[in-house]
Amino acid sequence: MCRQYFLALTASWALFTSPALAETFRVAAYNVENYLDQTTESRKFVKSPAAKAKVRETVLALKPDVIAFEEMGGLGALLELRDALKKDGLDLPHYEHVTGFDTNIHVAVLSRFPIIARRAHTNDSFLLSGRRFRVSRGFTDVDIQVNANYQFTLIGAHLKSRRAVPEADEAELRHEEARILRAIVDQRLAADPKANLVVLGDFNDTYNAKSVKEVVGRGAGKLVDTRPAERNGDNQPNPVNPHYYPRNITWTHFYGVEDTYSRIDYLMLSPGMAREWDREETYIPTIPNWGTGSDHRPLLATFAAENQ
């Protein structure tokens, strides 16, 4: 009788520890539009209290375990946001803050889980039309330990904006930055084709642009586009061509000059990481007055914390 009870208990425990019921975690990306706590030479406005409050409201609605930021101010601004989120009940104690050639705005990460390795890319450069340029904002590149058996690498980017500059064509500059970003991805996948990689951030162009296609890559190392969308009930395939993306709402950025909405922020996965991806828990939140906080909306994807 005792043996039968033991076997039944063991079977019950196996159910609760099966991969289908594995722990999950949430990763987000959010361009917080000049989250500055002090003015700089080229950016003369600090983030207003109302805008900061809306950013916090948005992050709290997501409840991320790891979140990558673009257009973050200095380290003080990141730690101020981290501490404010903790007071509101979201504790993300571990952080990374990367300063590239652009010393005004930065890429950064907050994480609930320990960051066990850091490879900040701050000085990458390229030749274009005989002139050398540096990647403006650098890239975050961190390994995050979710639990004893699962870790992943997060690579965060903020590619050159679509604003024209006198030095070179903005699309060509962005494409060269994308090449360097893709080289970082390729290096990691060459070392381990099954590596768990999340490549995310503001790529500053639409999906079919050369720069975004460069990041996505091709062949066995092609990244998977999670394409988060609003949870508004749109769930039908494209009625014209099933190979096209469905017509759900995925825009992430509002450009006031043109009065346009477009998808220029991305959360992409290596083939290894895509095995743990939960499509049903991947989305863009709909926050009232979202634009008070930023001209971008955040992305969120959920994963099983166990290699599949």
Show me where the domains of the chain are located: 23-304
Looking at the domain covering 23-304, what would its CATH class be? alpha beta
pLDDT of 40 reads: 78
pLDDT of 133 reads: 96
pLDDT of 5 reads: 35
pLDDT of 126 reads: 97
124-133 in b/e form (b: 16+ CB < 10 A) is: beeeeeeeeb
Q: Which of 258, 256, 267 is nearest to 298 (CA)?
A: 267
For tokens 């409201």, what's the residue? 57
Tens-level pLDDT at each residue, the chain (308 residues): 344 433 333 333 333 333 344 599 999 999 999 999 887 777 768 999 999 999 999 999 999 999 999 999 999 999 999 999 999 999 999 999 999 999 999 999 999 999 999 999 999 999 999 999 999 999 999 999 999 999 999 999 999 999 999 999 999 999 999 999 999 999 999 999 999 999 999 999 999 999 999 999 999 999 999 999 999 999 999 999 988 999 999 999 999 999 999 999 999 999 999 999 999 999 999 999 999 999 999 999 999 999 99
pLDDT of 3 reads: 41
Global pTM reads 0.91
pLDDT of 224 reads: 98
Phi, psi (rounded to 5 degrees) for 124: -70, 145
